[in-house]
Amino acid sequence: MTHMDFDALVALLARIFIANGASAGVADILARNCAGAERDGAMSHGLFRMPGYVSTLHSGWVDGRAEPVVEDAGASFLRVDAANGFTQPALAAVAPIAIEKARATGACVVAIRRSHHFAALWPDVEPFAEAGLVAIAMVDSMAVVVPPGARRPVYGTNPLAFAAPREGGRIMVFDQAVSLLAHGDVQIAAREGHVLPEGAGVDAAGQPTRDAQAVLDGGALLPFGGHKGAAIAMMIEIMAAALTGGNYSHEVDWSAHPGAQTPCTGQCLILIDPARGGSGAGFAARVEQLVDALRAAGQERMPGDRRFAARAKAVRDGVPVSAEMLARLEALLTS
Protein backbone atom coordinates (compact mmCIF):
# COMPACT_ATOMS: atom_id res chain seq x y z
CA MET A 1 0.00 0.00 0.00
CA THR A 2 1.55 3.33 -1.05
CA HIS A 3 0.24 6.77 -0.05
CA MET A 4 -0.10 9.06 -3.04
CA ASP A 5 -0.18 12.81 -2.96
CA PHE A 6 -3.70 13.87 -3.97
CA ASP A 7 -2.54 16.08 -6.85
CA ALA A 8 -0.29 13.33 -8.18
CA LEU A 9 -3.24 10.93 -8.13
CA VAL A 10 -5.40 13.49 -9.96
CA ALA A 11 -2.65 13.93 -12.57
CA LEU A 12 -2.39 10.17 -13.12
CA LEU A 13 -6.16 9.80 -13.54
CA ALA A 14 -6.29 12.80 -15.89
CA ARG A 15 -3.61 11.18 -18.05
CA ILE A 16 -5.73 8.00 -18.17
CA PHE A 17 -8.83 9.93 -19.24
CA ILE A 18 -6.87 11.80 -21.94
CA ALA A 19 -5.20 8.61 -23.16
CA ASN A 20 -8.68 7.16 -23.64
CA GLY A 21 -10.24 9.98 -25.59
CA ALA A 22 -11.33 12.66 -23.11
CA SER A 23 -10.52 16.32 -23.64
CA ALA A 24 -8.10 17.92 -21.19
CA GLY A 25 -10.93 19.90 -19.53
CA VAL A 26 -13.18 16.87 -19.06
CA ALA A 27 -10.22 14.77 -17.90
CA ASP A 28 -9.28 17.22 -15.19
CA ILE A 29 -12.84 17.47 -13.81
CA LEU A 30 -13.40 13.70 -13.79
CA ALA A 31 -9.94 12.99 -12.35
CA ARG A 32 -10.51 15.36 -9.42
CA ASN A 33 -13.94 13.85 -8.81
CA CYS A 34 -12.73 10.23 -8.88
CA ALA A 35 -9.56 10.86 -6.87
CA GLY A 36 -11.69 12.82 -4.39
CA ALA A 37 -13.99 9.85 -3.80
CA GLU A 38 -10.98 7.58 -3.17
CA ARG A 39 -9.44 10.21 -0.86
CA ASP A 40 -12.73 10.36 1.08
CA GLY A 41 -12.76 6.59 1.57
CA ALA A 42 -15.71 6.06 -0.78
CA MET A 43 -14.01 3.24 -2.66
CA SER A 44 -17.13 2.20 -4.56
CA HIS A 45 -17.01 5.54 -6.42
CA GLY A 46 -13.23 5.94 -6.47
CA LEU A 47 -10.43 4.23 -8.40
CA PHE A 48 -12.58 1.11 -8.67
CA ARG A 49 -14.60 3.02 -11.31
CA MET A 50 -11.68 3.83 -13.62
CA PRO A 51 -11.90 0.66 -15.78
CA GLY A 52 -15.63 1.41 -16.24
CA TYR A 53 -14.90 4.95 -17.39
CA VAL A 54 -12.30 3.71 -19.85
CA SER A 55 -14.47 0.90 -21.14
CA THR A 56 -17.35 3.31 -21.68
CA LEU A 57 -15.17 5.84 -23.49
CA HIS A 58 -13.95 3.05 -25.79
CA SER A 59 -17.49 1.90 -26.50
CA GLY A 60 -18.43 5.23 -28.10
CA TRP A 61 -21.46 5.45 -25.77
CA VAL A 62 -20.25 8.65 -24.07
CA ASP A 63 -18.51 11.66 -25.62
CA GLY A 64 -15.38 12.41 -23.61
CA ARG A 65 -14.90 15.66 -25.51
CA ALA A 66 -18.50 16.95 -25.21
CA GLU A 67 -19.00 20.68 -24.73
CA PRO A 68 -22.04 21.31 -22.48
CA VAL A 69 -24.48 24.01 -23.57
CA VAL A 70 -26.01 26.15 -20.80
CA GLU A 71 -29.50 27.51 -21.57
CA ASP A 72 -30.98 30.38 -19.58
CA ALA A 73 -34.59 29.37 -18.93
CA GLY A 74 -35.71 32.04 -16.46
CA ALA A 75 -34.58 34.14 -13.53
CA SER A 76 -34.47 30.95 -11.41
CA PHE A 77 -34.12 28.16 -13.96
CA LEU A 78 -31.17 26.89 -15.97
CA ARG A 79 -31.10 24.03 -18.44
CA VAL A 80 -27.92 22.31 -19.57
CA ASP A 81 -27.54 20.03 -22.56
CA ALA A 82 -24.59 17.89 -21.53
CA ALA A 83 -24.35 16.83 -25.19
CA ASN A 84 -23.90 13.15 -24.34
CA GLY A 85 -20.92 13.94 -22.14
CA PHE A 86 -20.36 13.41 -18.43
CA THR A 87 -22.49 15.35 -15.93
CA GLN A 88 -19.61 16.86 -13.98
CA PRO A 89 -18.34 19.13 -16.79
CA ALA A 90 -21.95 20.24 -17.40
CA LEU A 91 -22.29 21.05 -13.71
CA ALA A 92 -18.97 22.89 -13.68
CA ALA A 93 -20.15 25.02 -16.62
CA VAL A 94 -23.46 25.96 -15.00
CA ALA A 95 -22.47 26.23 -11.33
CA PRO A 96 -21.29 29.88 -11.22
CA ILE A 97 -24.43 31.05 -13.06
CA ALA A 98 -26.67 28.92 -10.84
CA ILE A 99 -25.09 30.36 -7.69
CA GLU A 100 -25.58 33.87 -9.04
CA LYS A 101 -29.26 33.21 -9.82
CA ALA A 102 -29.93 31.58 -6.44
CA ARG A 103 -28.38 34.54 -4.66
CA ALA A 104 -30.27 37.04 -6.84
CA THR A 105 -33.74 35.49 -6.55
CA GLY A 106 -33.59 33.11 -3.57
CA ALA A 107 -33.67 29.88 -5.57
CA CYS A 108 -32.45 28.25 -8.75
CA VAL A 109 -33.37 24.99 -10.46
CA VAL A 110 -30.75 23.40 -12.72
CA ALA A 111 -31.99 20.75 -15.17
CA ILE A 112 -29.19 18.79 -16.88
CA ARG A 113 -30.03 16.34 -19.67
CA ARG A 114 -28.15 13.95 -21.96
CA SER A 115 -25.63 13.48 -19.17
CA HIS A 116 -23.65 10.48 -17.92
CA HIS A 117 -23.24 10.21 -14.14
CA PHE A 118 -20.86 7.49 -12.96
CA ALA A 119 -19.65 9.11 -9.75
CA ALA A 120 -20.73 9.85 -6.19
CA LEU A 121 -23.31 12.61 -5.87
CA TRP A 122 -22.03 14.42 -2.80
CA PRO A 123 -19.22 16.17 -4.76
CA ASP A 124 -22.00 17.78 -6.83
CA VAL A 125 -23.66 19.44 -3.80
CA GLU A 126 -20.76 20.15 -1.41
CA PRO A 127 -19.42 23.24 -3.23
CA PHE A 128 -22.84 24.92 -3.10
CA ALA A 129 -23.11 24.44 0.66
CA GLU A 130 -19.55 25.76 0.98
CA ALA A 131 -20.83 28.82 -0.91
CA GLY A 132 -23.57 29.25 1.70
CA LEU A 133 -26.47 27.69 -0.22
CA VAL A 134 -28.71 24.72 0.44
CA ALA A 135 -28.47 22.18 -2.38
CA ILE A 136 -30.56 19.14 -3.28
CA ALA A 137 -29.46 16.92 -6.19
CA MET A 138 -31.21 13.97 -7.81
CA VAL A 139 -29.97 11.69 -10.60
CA ASP A 140 -31.66 8.76 -12.27
CA SER A 141 -29.47 5.97 -13.54
CA MET A 142 -30.41 2.63 -15.13
CA ALA A 143 -33.22 0.21 -14.38
CA VAL A 144 -31.91 -1.99 -11.57
CA VAL A 145 -34.48 -1.38 -8.79
CA VAL A 146 -37.82 -3.24 -8.71
CA PRO A 147 -40.89 -1.13 -7.75
CA PRO A 148 -43.35 -2.62 -5.22
CA GLY A 149 -45.54 -5.20 -6.91
CA ALA A 150 -43.54 -5.11 -10.15
CA ARG A 151 -41.91 -8.09 -11.82
CA ARG A 152 -38.88 -6.28 -13.22
CA PRO A 153 -36.73 -3.22 -12.49
CA VAL A 154 -37.89 0.23 -13.60
CA TYR A 155 -36.06 2.60 -11.26
CA GLY A 156 -32.37 3.37 -11.10
CA THR A 157 -30.40 3.44 -7.88
CA ASN A 158 -31.30 7.16 -8.14
CA PRO A 159 -29.15 8.89 -5.56
CA LEU A 160 -30.42 11.87 -3.59
CA ALA A 161 -27.88 14.27 -2.13
CA PHE A 162 -28.45 17.17 0.26
CA ALA A 163 -26.02 19.74 1.57
CA ALA A 164 -26.38 22.77 3.84
CA PRO A 165 -23.90 25.10 5.50
CA ARG A 166 -23.03 24.63 9.19
CA GLU A 167 -21.14 26.99 11.43
CA GLY A 168 -17.40 27.48 11.06
CA GLY A 169 -17.28 26.71 7.33
CA ARG A 170 -18.38 23.10 7.90
CA ILE A 171 -21.25 21.59 5.95
CA MET A 172 -23.96 19.00 6.57
CA VAL A 173 -24.15 16.60 3.63
CA PHE A 174 -25.63 13.23 2.76
CA ASP A 175 -25.79 11.23 -0.44
CA GLN A 176 -27.79 8.04 -0.59
CA ALA A 177 -29.10 5.66 -3.21
CA VAL A 178 -32.79 4.68 -3.15
CA SER A 179 -31.70 1.07 -3.36
CA LEU A 180 -30.82 -0.53 -0.04
CA LEU A 181 -27.32 -0.92 -1.52
CA ALA A 182 -25.53 1.20 -4.14
CA HIS A 183 -24.78 -0.65 -7.36
CA GLY A 184 -21.07 -0.11 -6.76
CA ASP A 185 -21.34 -1.88 -3.41
CA VAL A 186 -22.94 -4.89 -5.07
CA GLN A 187 -20.14 -4.96 -7.66
CA ILE A 188 -17.54 -4.88 -4.88
CA ALA A 189 -19.39 -7.57 -2.90
CA ALA A 190 -19.46 -9.78 -6.01
CA ARG A 191 -15.77 -9.24 -6.65
CA GLU A 192 -14.81 -9.95 -3.05
CA GLY A 193 -17.34 -12.71 -2.44
CA HIS A 194 -19.28 -10.94 0.31
CA VAL A 195 -22.86 -11.89 1.12
CA LEU A 196 -25.49 -9.13 0.71
CA PRO A 197 -27.76 -8.10 3.60
CA GLU A 198 -31.39 -9.31 3.69
CA GLY A 199 -33.81 -7.36 1.51
CA ALA A 200 -31.12 -5.97 -0.78
CA GLY A 201 -31.88 -7.81 -3.99
CA VAL A 202 -33.61 -10.44 -6.09
CA ASP A 203 -32.19 -12.91 -8.62
CA ALA A 204 -33.12 -13.24 -12.31
CA ALA A 205 -36.25 -15.19 -11.32
CA GLY A 206 -37.37 -12.38 -9.01
CA GLN A 207 -36.61 -14.38 -5.87
CA PRO A 208 -34.89 -12.72 -2.86
CA THR A 209 -31.18 -13.46 -2.80
CA ARG A 210 -28.08 -12.53 -0.81
CA ASP A 211 -25.74 -13.55 -3.64
CA ALA A 212 -24.23 -10.39 -5.17
CA GLN A 213 -23.37 -12.13 -8.45
CA ALA A 214 -26.98 -13.33 -8.78
CA VAL A 215 -28.14 -9.72 -8.48
CA LEU A 216 -25.69 -8.66 -11.20
CA ASP A 217 -26.60 -11.64 -13.45
CA GLY A 218 -30.09 -10.53 -14.45
CA GLY A 219 -31.32 -9.95 -10.93
CA ALA A 220 -32.24 -6.59 -9.44
CA LEU A 221 -32.01 -4.41 -6.36
CA LEU A 222 -34.80 -3.53 -3.93
CA PRO A 223 -35.54 0.00 -2.66
CA PHE A 224 -34.72 0.86 0.95
CA GLY A 225 -37.79 1.12 3.17
CA GLY A 226 -40.23 -0.63 0.82
CA HIS A 227 -42.91 1.51 -0.81
CA LYS A 228 -41.63 4.71 0.85
CA GLY A 229 -38.19 4.32 -0.68
CA ALA A 230 -39.88 3.46 -3.97
CA ALA A 231 -41.90 6.71 -3.86
CA ILE A 232 -38.65 8.63 -3.51
CA ALA A 233 -37.23 6.68 -6.46
CA MET A 234 -40.26 7.73 -8.50
CA MET A 235 -39.88 11.38 -7.51
CA ILE A 236 -36.25 11.25 -8.62
CA GLU A 237 -37.19 9.73 -12.00
CA ILE A 238 -39.63 12.61 -12.54
CA MET A 239 -37.22 15.31 -11.36
CA ALA A 240 -34.10 13.99 -13.10
CA ALA A 241 -35.69 12.78 -16.35
CA ALA A 242 -39.16 14.24 -17.03
CA LEU A 243 -38.17 17.69 -15.77
CA THR A 244 -34.76 17.80 -17.44
CA GLY A 245 -35.60 16.16 -20.76
CA GLY A 246 -33.20 13.30 -20.04
CA ASN A 247 -33.86 9.57 -20.20
CA TYR A 248 -35.74 7.65 -17.56
CA SER A 249 -33.64 4.87 -16.06
CA HIS A 250 -35.68 2.28 -17.94
CA GLU A 251 -35.06 4.07 -21.25
CA VAL A 252 -31.26 3.77 -21.10
CA ASP A 253 -30.28 1.46 -23.94
CA TRP A 254 -26.59 0.90 -24.49
CA SER A 255 -27.02 -2.41 -26.30
CA ALA A 256 -25.32 -0.98 -29.40
CA HIS A 257 -22.24 -0.05 -27.33
CA PRO A 258 -20.68 -3.13 -25.71
CA GLY A 259 -18.53 -2.08 -22.76
CA ALA A 260 -20.71 0.92 -21.89
CA GLN A 261 -21.33 1.27 -18.14
CA THR A 262 -22.47 4.87 -17.58
CA PRO A 263 -26.19 5.66 -17.58
CA CYS A 264 -27.10 8.51 -19.94
CA THR A 265 -29.98 10.21 -18.13
CA GLY A 266 -30.45 13.57 -16.41
CA GLN A 267 -29.81 15.41 -13.19
CA CYS A 268 -31.82 17.98 -11.28
CA LEU A 269 -30.33 20.39 -8.80
CA ILE A 270 -32.29 22.72 -6.52
CA LEU A 271 -30.37 25.60 -4.94
CA ILE A 272 -31.86 27.74 -2.17
CA ASP A 273 -30.43 30.85 -0.53
CA PRO A 274 -31.11 30.25 3.18
CA ALA A 275 -30.27 33.84 4.09
CA ARG A 276 -33.70 34.79 2.71
CA GLY A 277 -35.50 32.42 5.08
CA GLY A 278 -36.78 33.16 8.57
CA SER A 279 -33.42 32.47 10.24
CA GLY A 280 -31.64 34.92 7.93
CA ALA A 281 -27.90 35.03 8.57
CA GLY A 282 -28.47 32.69 11.54
CA PHE A 283 -29.22 29.69 9.32
CA ALA A 284 -25.86 27.94 9.74
CA ALA A 285 -26.08 28.41 13.51
CA ARG A 286 -29.53 26.82 13.49
CA VAL A 287 -28.20 23.79 11.57
CA GLU A 288 -25.46 23.53 14.19
CA GLN A 289 -28.11 23.48 16.92
CA LEU A 290 -29.69 20.44 15.27
CA VAL A 291 -26.31 18.70 15.24
CA ASP A 292 -25.94 19.57 18.93
CA ALA A 293 -29.38 18.11 19.67
CA LEU A 294 -28.55 14.89 17.79
CA ARG A 295 -25.25 14.55 19.69
CA ALA A 296 -26.99 15.22 23.03
CA ALA A 297 -29.50 12.45 22.21
CA GLY A 298 -26.68 9.99 21.61
CA GLN A 299 -26.11 10.06 17.84
CA GLU A 300 -22.34 10.30 17.65
CA ARG A 301 -21.74 10.28 13.92
CA MET A 302 -23.32 12.73 11.49
CA PRO A 303 -23.77 11.89 7.78
CA GLY A 304 -20.49 12.62 6.00
CA ASP A 305 -18.34 12.46 9.17
CA ARG A 306 -16.53 9.33 8.02
CA ARG A 307 -15.75 10.94 4.66
CA PHE A 308 -14.51 14.16 6.23
CA ALA A 309 -12.24 12.16 8.57
CA ALA A 310 -10.81 10.14 5.67
CA ARG A 311 -10.30 13.36 3.71
CA ALA A 312 -8.41 15.04 6.53
CA LYS A 313 -6.18 11.98 6.95
CA ALA A 314 -5.48 11.75 3.20
CA VAL A 315 -4.60 15.44 3.00
CA ARG A 316 -2.04 14.80 5.76
CA ASP A 317 -0.73 11.36 4.78
CA GLY A 318 -1.67 11.00 1.12
CA VAL A 319 -4.32 8.75 -0.46
CA PRO A 320 -3.74 5.04 0.23
CA VAL A 321 -3.45 3.12 -3.05
CA SER A 322 -2.51 -0.56 -3.28
CA ALA A 323 0.31 -1.67 -5.58
CA GLU A 324 -2.22 -3.85 -7.39
CA MET A 325 -4.55 -0.88 -8.02
CA LEU A 326 -1.63 1.26 -9.16
CA ALA A 327 -0.63 -1.41 -11.68
CA ARG A 328 -4.24 -1.61 -12.90
CA LEU A 329 -4.36 2.17 -13.34
CA GLU A 330 -1.06 2.27 -15.19
CA ALA A 331 -2.34 -0.41 -17.56
CA LEU A 332 -5.22 1.93 -18.43
CA LEU A 333 -2.72 4.46 -19.80
CA THR A 334 -2.09 2.22 -22.78
CA SER A 335 -5.42 0.42 -23.09
Asked if 41 interacts with a second copy (CB under 8 A), we say no
Query: Of 43, 59, 46, whose CA–CA distance to 9 is shortest?
Result: 46
Among candidate residues 23, 44, 59, 76, the one labeled active-site is: 44
Q: Is 68 in the site for a second copy (CB under 8 A)?
A: no
SS (H, E, C) 155-177: ECCCCEEEEEECHHHCEEEEEEC
Residue 175 is a catalytic residue: no
Q: What b/e readout covers 154-187, taking b as 16+ CB neighbours within 10 angstroms?
A: bbbbbbbbbbbbbeeebbbbebbbbbbbbbbbbb
User: Long-range pairs for 214-217 at CB < 8 Å and ≥24 separation?
Assistant: 215/186, 215/190, 216/186, 216/187, 216/190
At closest approach, how far in Å is the CB of 114 from a second copy?
9
Q: Can you tell me the distance from the alpha carbon of 168 to that of 134, in angstroms, rounded to the nearest whole number?
A: 16
- Cβ-based nearer residue to a second copy, 149 or 193: 149
Site for a second copy contains 84 (CB under 8 A): no
- Cα-based distances in Å from 151 to 178, 204, 237, 253: 18, 10, 18, 19
Per the annotation, the verdict on 203 as an active-site residue is no
Site string for a second copy, 101-130 (x = CB under 8 A): ---xxxxxx-x-x-----------------
17, 53, 122, 248: which one binds a second copy (CB under 8 A)? 248
Using CB under 8 A as the binding rule, whether residue 99 contacts a second copy is answered as no
Of the candidates 40, 124, 175, 185, the residue annotated as catalytic is 185
What is the closest distance, in whole angstroms, from the C-beta atom of residue 250 to a second copy in the complex? 5
Nearer to a second copy, 50 or 271 (CB): 271
> Is residue 87 close enough to count as binding a second copy by CB under 8 A?
no
User: Which of these, 80, 84, 66, 88, lies nearest to 13 by C-alpha position?
Assistant: 88
Site for a second copy in 127-186 (CB under 8 A): 134, 136, 146-154, 162, 164, 172, 174, 176, 180
Q: Which 261-280 positions form the footprint of a second copy (CB under 8 A)?
A: 266, 270, 272-274, 276-280
Count of residues near a second copy by CB under 8 A: 75
Stretch 177-236 residues interacting with a second copy (CB under 8 A): 180, 224-226, 228-229, 231-232, 234-235
Distance, CA of 176 to CA of 70 (rounded, Å): 27
Among 222, 244, 63, CA closest to 140:
244
* Catalytic-residue membership of 249: no
**Is residue 45 near a second copy by the rule CB under 8 A?**
no
The residues annotated with a catalytic role in the active site are 44-45, 185
